[in-house]
Amino acid sequence: MKSRLVIVGPGRLGRSAAQILKRNGHEFVLVGRGEPIPPALVTWLTVPDKAIGPVAMTVPSGGVVLHASGAFDHEVLRPHASAGSLHPLMSFPGPELGMPETDIPAAVSGDADAVEAALTLADALGFSAVRVPGNRALYHAAAVTAGNFATTLMVQAGRMLANTGLTETQARTLLAPLAITSIKNAVEHGPEALTGPIARGDDDTIETHRKALSKISPELSAFYLSLCDATKALKE
């Protein structure tokens, strides 16, 4: 007898998804590394990207097979006839550390029946799913930009501010409300949300920043100026 849903890969996403499904009263089987994968109506691979192809070859045929990668399209799951992807646009640190406290968007793509299965699974998980059928490299680059570079910006901004006498943790905490509000405004208004010296065309102020940062770290100064150039380009 086929299981309704099998999740392969008890990593951070797999364990988090299992916790959500259990809380919502859904039946599933969570399969660990080296364990046999039972036949299922839907099999969702939450394994590392490099393992998707090899693991897919061990999934019994006849059901829908999905992966959770943002980087690959569904062709990596062939020769399965019904293949697709369900990729949550969210960071999962693992249920032991915490679960996302916000609505979780997710991208689905693949064969028609696999997309329907992915949408159903997303609904069971409480994800807000959107069909994203285009270039996966562009999709994943956008996800990496949104999901990782904010960390880079906050760490570097914290290092700049820490040179005034605060700890880096204190600096990041102080800057967080500004950063979060800026992101919210950018989501709603795009480049029109820009404020500060770049939006005003105040090059003299930018020059004072450059001089101060150069005394601390040439790398930080170059980082700041590259962001200034990219930000100026948004207004062109």
The CA angle 76-77-82, to the nearest 5 degrees, is 135
Buried b (16+ CB within 10 A) or exposed e, 112-143: eebbebbbebbebbebebeebeeebeebbeeb
For 145, half-sphere exposure in the C-beta direction (CA atoms, 13 angstrom radius) is 7
Any idea which residue has 């990782």 for tokens?
Answer: 148
pLDDT in tens, 104-148: 999 999 999 999 999 999 999 999 999 998 899 999 999 999 989
Between CA 22 and CA 182 the distance in angstroms is: 36
The percent of residues above 70 in pLDDT, for the chain, comes to 100
Q: Determine the Cα–Cα distance for residues 13 and 79; give it in Å rounded to an integer.
A: 25
C-alpha closest to that of 7 among 66, 70, 75, 93? 66
Kindly report the CATH class assigned to 139-234: mainly alpha
Quote the pLDDT of residue 60.
97
3-state secondary structure of 67: strand
Residue spans of the domains in the chain: they are 3-134, 139-234
- Residue (of 108, 190, 194, 91) closest to 143 by Cα position: 91
Interval 192-203: pLDDT, tens = 999 999 999 999
pLDDT digits (tens, 9 = 90+) for 154-183: 999 999 999 999 999 999 999 999 999 999
User: How far is residue 110's CA from residue 83's CA, in Å, rounded to a whole number?
Assistant: 6
For residue 140, give Cα distances in angstroms to 69, 134, 147, 230. Answer: 9, 11, 10, 21
CATH code for the domain defined by 3-134: 3.40.50.720
Mean predicted confidence (pLDDT) in 20-31:
95
Q: How confident is the model at residue 49 (pLDDT cuts 50, 70, 90)?
A: very high
